[in-house]
Amino acid sequence: MLGSYALLGSVVPRDAFAAAKLREAGAIFIGKTNLSEWAGARSLQLPRGFSGRGGQTLCPYYPNADPCASSSGSGAATAIGLAAGSLGSETRASIVSPSSRNNIVGIKPTVGLVSRSGVVPYSSHQDTLGPMCRSVTDAALLLNFIAGPDPRDEATLHQPGIVPDYMKALNKNSLKGARLGVPRSFIRNIKAIEETFNSSLDILQALGAEIVDHADFPNAEELLTSKAEKLVMAVDFKVDIRKYISELVEVPTGVKTLADLIEFNKTHADLELPAPFYTDQTRFMDAEPAQVDDAYFAALAQDFDLGRTRGIDATLAKFNLDAIILPTDASTSYCDANATYDIQHLVPLGFQPDDVEILPATPSPLHSQAPGIPFGIAFMGTAYSEFKLISYAYAFEQATHVRLQRRAYDDAIPRTQLTDVM
């Protein structure tokens, strides 16, 4: 579970709600993917895509490339065709980032559209589950099956009405008349990404969209500098992980709390904290003393106000927008500041050029910048606007087919077929 030896051999009480819905629909599960251990909750210093049990996940578009964020295994496996699609979980950027980096489509749904019951938690206020696929069509199909209310997840009981059929959003002409805003203050990427994004604006306009450039969030700087989300996530993880472990049928290692996890990692450092890159668990230790107190509730209220009321919703209203668009790398800057609300649908946008500077020059252990590393474009909106965003993303995807413009590097392309191993 979550790539940690601390929960090795644990027994869950039932399928996760989303898994049960997929089984009911006839899906065949062929494997589990690796991820950033504990969804990145252990440390910000760990290379992304590493877990003690699974090792280091890599992006298949350049050797030793960063697969980007916690659902990295789902991104890499889907990118090279190991499965028709996969599921990712996002607390902040953990669906959109690995989807962008691995040249696939990802949907981060509104918190409350897809049940989290049975999913190992990070933050009950921010966690959401979504599809990661090679096409908008496949992602919409998966979302159809996993969306809906679940009595075991109270957040899903507040969905507004009947969940729509997202397959009906697949309309090539959906961008005609759409007003799309570009919050420039969030775009702080390498030059090639910004140039490709700027070119995409011409494509969107040719498809009938009206681009509102410099549609900046009124509270952009305040949002990016707020520390509220860090406190919310720390408290939520400590509380939510204890509750999750308490509901397991069996936990052979005996861990019960965050303090137990910290001590387990120290005791089993050869498995969980291997040198030189994977020794850190400072985020665990920072969260251990966190408490549900007045400061926590104030931070939670500030998060909602910054990200929802004075963030996305204020920006949509101020500029009369249907959606917000950004390079995915820039949209994750917003996610890192506040992820309590927005939904995102992203599609492939381009690839870092062959003459780009490789960074870091010596991977430690991963390259964050290198020739051919993919990046995406994100369509962002208010709560429960998935149908609209899927339609915009589909129209853009069908007009560009960016994903097909570059293959993974040769050694990353699998040659074994399922029939050879099953």
Beta bridge partners of 65: 59, 367
- Predicted TM-score (pTM) of the model is 0.96
pLDDT of residue 232 exceeding 70: yes
How do residues 363-390 score in pLDDT, each as one tens digit? 889 999 999 999 999 999 999 999 999 9
pLDDT band at residue 255 under the 50/70/90 scheme? very high
CB 252 within 8 A of CB 258: no
Say yes or no to pLDDT of 345 above 90. no
Render pLDDT for 53-85 as a digit per residue (tens, 0 to 9).
Answer: 999 999 999 999 999 989 999 999 999 999 999
The pLDDT tens digits of the residues spanning 6-25 come to: 999 999 999 999 999 999 99
Q: Is residue 90 scored above 70 in pLDDT?
A: yes
Tell me if 136 sits within 8 A of 393, measured CB to CB: yes
Tell me how far CA of residue 376 lies from CA of 205, 212, 244, 324, 341, in angstroms.
Answer: 18, 20, 34, 14, 21
Question: Any idea which of 153-157, 202-206, 279-283, 341-345 has the lowest mean pLDDT?
Answer: 341-345
Q: Band of the pLDDT at 330, cuts 50, 70, 90?
A: confident
pLDDT value for 329? 83
Q: What mean pLDDT value characterizes the chain?
A: 94
Compute the average pLDDT of residues 173-177.
98
pLDDT at 333: 61
If you average pLDDT over residues 313-334, what whole number do you get? Answer: 89
pLDDT-derived band at 341 (thresholds 50, 70, 90) equals low
Which residues 6+ apart lie within 8 Å of 189 measured at CB?
197, 327, 329, 330
Average pLDDT over residues 238-252: 98
**DSSP states of 381-415:** ESTT-HHHHHHHHHHHHHHH-GGGG-PPPGGGS--
Give the percent of the chain with pLDDT over 70. Answer: 97
Domains and CATH numbers, the chain: 5-421 (3.90.1300.10)
C-alpha atoms less than 13 angstroms from C-alpha of 31 in its C-beta half-sphere: 15
Total residues found in the chain within this entry: 422
Query: Rounded distance, CA 309 to CA 150, Å?
Result: 27
pLDDT of residue 342: 66
pLDDT at 421 over 90: no
At residue 338, the pLDDT reads 55
Both tokens of 377, joined, read: 């474009």
pLDDT tier for residue 190 given thresholds of 50, 70 and 90? confident
